[in-house]
Chain A
Amino acid sequence: MSSKEEPVSHSRRRLIRNGMQVTLAISLIGIAGRTVLKSASDDLVWQLDPFKCVQCGRCAKECVMSPSAVKCVHAYALCGYCDLCGGYLKPDPNARTTAAENQLCPTAAIKRKYIEDPYFEYVIDEKLCIGCGKCVAGCTSFGNGSLHLQVRHDLCRNCNECAIARVCPSEAFSRVPSHKPYLIKGDFKKG
């Protein structure tokens, strides 16, 4: 007889989350700054709405960049820091460990770090991430949906016609203002 409400916070984890949020914010602001400079003449850049994305795999395959300019990002404020993380572990893993056979990510781009019993932190290594969305699907199904995909504007070439947008089955791509180039979960509300 439970409800569907906002996640629960915890002082120590909140501290960590805040730290991570700041880090994420700084990196995104930095990237956003570069993007604005890069495309001073362009007012709009491509971005995807994580609430529309159905993790079809095309972000990994269709981008003109290789690896894709789409990466997984983590909304730490939404994360449950679960031991049994649906985004990190394969369905029904042999054990909840960092062994390759237990990891869901095809490129081992997610790093799992013990915080305190029973909490773990998950960090994306963007150099390894190919934007396949597999972890996003796992986290959305069995976690809080804190992992999600975003076009990273330090990598995106802002093609005239985004090759992914053309084939995205959920019409998740749109042009957004270059001064607000990210649609980060937790920063904006669904609908």
Chain B
Amino acid sequence: MNRKLINGLLILIAIAIVVIISTDFIGNKAGQNKSNPYEYNIEAFKQVDSAKVLYNEVTTFPVLADQLSGIAVSDSSVVVAAGNKLLQFNFIGEEIFRKPIIDTATCITMDGKKNVWIGMRHFVAAYDLNGTLIKRWKSFDERSVITSLAVSGDQIFVADAGNRVVYKCNRDGLIIARIGEKNEQKGVPGYVIPSPYFDLAIDNSGFLWVVNPGRQSLENYNADGSLRTSWGVAGMKIEGFSGCCNPAQMTIMDDNSFVTSEKGMPRIKLYGQHGELKGIVAPPDLFDAGSYYAPDVAVDASNKIYALDFARKQVRIFKMK
């Protein structure tokens, strides 16, 4: 009897030990969602007033390629640069072609003649709309990291994050002027580029706008390279540009409004020509949790906004409500 009692007790103790150990193990198990007292929490900044969201997402289409780097839109097609490829789509997302390009693309734009200009790390190449190479510039220099291009008539503006300068070039790649280098006499503060996000665009009046990402601002230059004006405020709140290197991407609409796209907490916003926030194109909750990269942005003739979502590998099209 005594022996039976002791055996029973031992079994009970063994069961209790197993239960305690497995509860502890399951509770602590890798992958369990335990609360983190040290969490880096920016959820509050992801909430936006829905009245400020001015756009609806109307279409998406996939881009089945790796190393997406940029998007541009003409009145007849959408082009995407991805790795060593140039892809062309129609507006309902059907792929028209994908053609090899001579090096890995870092950025892309289109000119008024629908030629496609592609930035590679050290140089620029141009293709016609059938994807045939028409120009290859010589390399700038070893330190160059070309991150953005814009075309205005016969002038091509090239953002070089490696050398912290914008080159104004002719169509053959001859440098006509260097813009934005620190120059106190001209009131130019110099670009601060902590990481290679360095975008530019030309407004409707032909003026150059350049993102100064380390200062979270957009700078506007006269033809002689002097600083004309600038705007931008740093901050996680919706009016501001969050963290370093934002806005990582931007483009300019017909009425000189700015479309900006941020990394870290991806969000796309619309600012007026003097830098006042007009509203939101795509709030943070439209992007996948854990998304980091700023979608590249482009605008078509009807002012629809095209966002190249690097995480989803999609073109996402937004139309004003």
Contacts and interface: CB of A to CB of B under 8 A. Distances in A.
Nearest to B25: A166
B257 interface: no
B40 A134 contact: yes
Interface string A21-55: 00000000000000000000000000000000001
A137 interface: yes
A84 B234 contact: yes
A138 B215 contact: no
Interface in A123-145: 132-134, 137-138, 141-144
B249 A1 contact: yes
Given A3-B145, A56-B36, A118-B214, A168 B193 contact: no
Contact of B236 (A4, A83, A91, A170): A91
Given A3-B106, A92-B45, A138-B40, A144 B147 contact: no
Interface residues of A, number: 42
Most chain A C-beta atoms within 10 Å of own C-beta, residue among B36, B41, B42: B36
B243 A143 contact: yes
Most chain B C-beta atoms within 10 Å of own C-beta, residue among A6, A91, A133: A91
A70 interface: no
Given A2-B199, A5-B161, A134-B40, A80 B30 contact: no
Interface string B191-234: 01111111100000000000000111000000000000000001
Interface string B276-293: 000000000000000011
Interface in A57-92: 57-58, 60, 62, 80-86, 91-92
A4 B29 CA distance: 35
B58 to A, nearest CB: 22
B265 A141 contact: yes
A31 B227 CA distance: 51
B216 A141 contact: no
Given A91-B236, A143-B243, A1 B42 contact: no
Interface in B102-134: 105-109, 119, 121
A81 B194 contact: yes
A147 to B, nearest CB: 11
Contact of A82 (B148, B194, B248): B194
B192 A118 contact: yes
A8 B145 contact: yes
B147 A84 contact: no
Contacts of A144: 194-195
A86 B264 CA distance: 10
A5 B214 contact: no
Interface string B30-51: 1110101111111001000000
Contact of A84 (B29, B36, B146, B243): B243
A3 B243 contact: no
Given A4-B196, A92-B235, A84 B216 contact: yes
A191 interface: no
B162 A8 contact: yes
B164 interface: yes
Most chain B C-beta atoms within 10 Å of own C-beta, residue among A9, A55, A141: A141
A132 B107 contact: no
Contact of A57 (B38, B265, B294): B38
B237 A92 contact: yes
Contacts of A3: 69-70, 105-107, 119, 145-147, 196
A7 B40 contact: no
A101 interface: no
Contacts of B119: 1, 3
Interface of A: 1-9, 55-58, 60, 62, 80-86, 91-92, 104, 106, 118, 132-134, 137-138, 141-144, 166-171
Given A3-B105, A5-B196, 20 more contacts: A1-B70, A1-B108, A1-B147, A1-B199, A1-B296, A2-B147, A2-B248, A2-B296, A4-B69, A8-B164, A8-B194, A84-B244, A85-B244, A86-B243, A104-B40, A134-B39, A141-B42, A142-B242, A144-B194, A166-B30
28 contacts: A1-B70, A1-B107, A1-B108, A2-B107, A2-B196, A2-B197, A2-B199, A2-B248, A2-B294, A3-B119, A3-B147, A5-B196, A7-B194, A8-B162, A8-B193, A58-B34, A82-B194, A84-B243, A91-B40, A91-B42, A106-B38, A118-B215, A132-B38, A134-B38, A134-B40, A142-B244, A167-B28, A171-B30
